Amino acid sequence: MSSAFGPTAASSSTGRDLRFAIVGAGMAGILTAIKLKEAGLSDFTVYEKADRLGGTWWENTYPGLSCDVPSHLYCYSFALNPEWSHTFSPGSEIQAYFERVASDYGVVPFIRFGDEVVSCAFDNGRWRISTASGHRDEVDVVIAATGVLHHPKYPDIKGLDSFGGAVFHSARWDHGVTLDGARVGIIGTGSTAVQIVSAIVERTERLVLFQRTAQWVMPAMNPAYTPEEQAAFRRDRHLMEELRAGVSQLFDGFSGAVVDAESPQMKMIEDACLKNLEDNVTDPGLRERLRPDYRAACKRLIVSADFYRAIQEPNAELVTDAIDSVEPGGVRTADGELHELDVLVLATGFKVDAFVRPMSVVGRDDRNLEQAWARRPEAYLSISVPGFPNFFMLNGPNGPVGNFSLVEVAELQVGYIMQLVDRLRTGECHEISATQAAMDRFEAARVEAAKKTVWATGCRSWYLDDRGIPAAWPWHFGRFRSAMVAPEWEAYELRG
Ligand code: NAP
């Protein structure tokens, strides 16, 4: 197989031999392993702390889990999948897809399962790796593919530990707990909670959704592909490519809208969500409580075909009074009412500023990532941190997040990183990292642009950093694609 990334190291027979560590065997780590192998750079280990690959798709198993990016876009461009069952296929299918692709591309034997990288230290031109089991490795390049939405955020609610029933975070679903006929409370109204509500409401005796903030909900049907459609995809891959290109274009349009809060496209998104609310929630009181008081897409837009139906089921209750405390019998709200429950699900999101942490990363001159990120996480183009040579991140700080295909994002980033690696492979230099000046310039422009996005129009969301500035790629997705085509070499310091 030849590399999709032009003149890679594979074409050089005289290059340096490089050893790599990939941290994480989720979607991005598997992708990196495949691309290194394709480029003939087969001296690598993928470190995965779990016992299975798949990352977020392995960790999250909650009922209703699916991806609200259409499946034909949420997959690798080089491994299109005619078998997708639905426009938005379920999480278990996505997990099976990544396992199958990893196996088909022969990268599973490269994964060291059940061993967490605890530290990476740059020493004498190489990275020394230590794992939780005490294993040691020494590599030339570290590629961190550790994910973003990874560390569960538990709410700080008085008495939470005293709850007498089962309580767990959505990303740590306890399948031993029965929901059938149970009184289930769900805290949170993000993408996760909405999927759970729609999936379980009919099984529960009573479902209570604790909403702190109402959400904008974009309607989207989720039809199954017919056997005939799947057969056509199998026969002709162009059909999948066309479909993918069409969906990608739609998402490009969305990226153009959200980065310009005043754009007509943004207005269209808001109108579609508003119409969804007006047309599908019949009770005027409930409708008002579900009506957001901030701009659509300021928080990550919810995409759902059936949330409004689910929350209107006779056994469902939307509670908008603030949570006061949790007691052994249930959740007490500020109005004094006790909502009696058997199960409490915390769909309260993730700590999003950890990135590669808690792994300790010590760069040049004994400076560690905690010091470099003392203010907040930053990386040039979300990939490289000044002073941390040959350490590259996928889906690192301030990259494209939101309603995009992170697979597409990771593929573009890997293509870019492979060009950095080429410089090392050909021996042109031994150490490569972004310059501080490039980092500062990029960050200043990014922050200015971020202020004009819809994410900055006044709402609480995980997109915002400690200053309230969106920690995300604030330009059109097309600009990200262009930036990833080739590195601007003056932004990098090449040593040795
Ligand atoms: P989230 O969007 O961060 O939502 C967390 C929810 O918990 C919010 O509604 C928040 O309320 C609420 N909450 C947090 N602490 C609370 C407290 N102390 N009291 C009451 N409510 C509290 O988390 P998420 O739903 O897990 O989604 C995270 C991200 O994962 C998504 O934005 C998306 O990027 C990704 N995701 C994607 C898909 C997909 O289909 N592609 C599916 C699921 C998740 P406030 O709104 O008031 O803060």
pLDDT at 204: 98
Integer CA distances (angstroms), 158 to 10, 155, 280, 401, 425, in order: 58, 9, 35, 32, 55
Please report, for the chain, how many H helices and E strands are present, in that order: 13, 23
pLDDT at 13: 47
Nearest CA among 417, 342, 318 for reference residue 32: 417
Question: Measured between alpha carbons, how far is 142 from 6 in angstroms, rounded to an integer?
Answer: 22
pLDDT at 211: 98
Closest approach atom of ligand 1 to CA 170: 26
CA-atom Rg of the chain in angstroms: 23
Do domains 3-151+351-495 and 160-223+259-346 share one topology? The answer is: yes
Q: Whose CA is nearest to atom 8 of ligand 1?
A: 188
Residue whose pair of structure tokens reads 């200053």 in the numeric block: 467
pLDDT at 256: 87
Measure 439 CA to ligand 1 centroid, in angstroms.
30
Mutating to test ligand 1, I would choose from 348, 460, 464 the residue with most ligand atoms within 8 A of its C-beta, which is: 348
Block means of pLDDT (10 residues each) for the chain, 496 residues, are: 37 75 98 98 98 98 96 98 97 98 98 98 97 98 95 98 98 98 98 98 98 97 96 98 96 89 92 97 98 96 96 98 98 98 98 94 97 97 98 96 89 98 96 98 98 96 96 96 98 96
pLDDT at 246: 96
> Is there an atom of ligand 1 within 6 Å of 188 CB?
yes
Closest approach atom of ligand 1 to CA 212: 47
Tally of CB atoms within 10 A around 490: 9
Q: Find the helix or strand (DSSP H, E) in which 117 lies.
A: strand 117-123
13 CB-near residues (< 8 Å, 6+ apart): none
> Is there an atom of ligand 1 within 6 Å of 298 CB?
no
Q: Give domain limits for the chain.
A: 3-151+351-495, 160-223+259-346
* Per-residue DSSP letter, 384: B
Question: Measured between alpha carbons, how far is 180 from 204 in angstroms, rounded to an integer?
Answer: 5
pLDDT at 14: 59
Measure 189 CA to ligand 1 centroid, in angstroms.
6
Cβ contact 123:261 at 8 Å: no
| The token pair that represents 209 in the structure block | 């959704």
> Is there an atom of ligand 1 within 6 Å of 193 CB?
yes
Residue 276, classed as helix, strand or coil, is: helix
| The token pair that represents 83 in the structure block | 């078998």
**Residue 493 C-beta-side C-alpha neighbours within 13 Å:** 16
> Is there an atom of ligand 1 within 6 Å of 471 CB?
no
* Residue 111 Cα to chain centre, angstroms: 21
* Residue 59 Cα to chain centre, angstroms: 12
| The token pair that represents 251 in the structure block | 């998402």
Cβ contact 111:32 at 8 Å: no
| CATH 3.50.50.60, applies to 160-223+259-346 | yes
Nearest CA among 111, 99, 131, 106 for reference residue 34: 106
pLDDT at 11: 39
Q: Give pairs for 354-358: CB < 8 Å, separation 24+.
A: 354/150, 354/151, 355/144, 355/146, 355/148, 355/393, 355/396, 355/397, 356/23, 356/144, 356/146, 356/393, 356/396, 358/118
Q: What is the dihedral of CA 219, 410, 82, 36, to 10 degrees?
A: -170
Q: Whose CA is nearest to atom 43 of ligand 1?
A: 192
Partner residues linked to 29 by β-bridges: none
Measure 65 CA to ligand 1 centroid, in angstroms.
14
> Is there an atom of ligand 1 within 6 Å of 323 CB?
yes
Measure 196 CA to ligand 1 centroid, in angstroms.
12
Question: Measured between alpha carbons, how far is 170 from 196 in angstroms, rounded to an integer?
Answer: 9
pLDDT at 404: 81
Q: Is 135 left (phi over 0), alpha (psi -120 to 50) or beta?
A: beta
| CATH 1.10.10.10, applies to 3-151+351-495 | no
Q: What is the dihedral of CA 442, 448, 452, 455, to 10 degrees?
A: 70
Q: Say what the pTM is.
A: 0.95
* Per-residue DSSP letter, 1: -
Closest approach atom of ligand 1 to CA 213: 47
pLDDT at 2: 34
Measure 275 CA to ligand 1 centroid, in angstroms.
23
Question: Measured between alpha carbons, how far is 485 from 412 in angstroms, rounded to an integer?
Answer: 8
Q: Which residue type occupies 496?
A: G
Question: Measured between alpha carbons, how far is 126 from 33 in angstroms, rounded to an integer?
Answer: 20
Supply angle C-alpha 438, 441, 444, rounded to 5: 145
Measure 134 CA to ligand 1 centroid, in angstroms.
36
Mutating to test ligand 1, I would choose from 212, 290, 352, 353 the residue with most ligand atoms within 8 A of its C-beta, which is: 212
Tally of CB atoms within 10 A around 493: 18
Measure 141 CA to ligand 1 centroid, in angstroms.
34
Q: Please give the full DSSP string across 426-458, using - where no structure is assigned.
A: TTS-SEEEE-HHHHHHHHHHHHHHHTTSGGGSS
> Is there an atom of ligand 1 within 6 Å of 67 CB?
yes
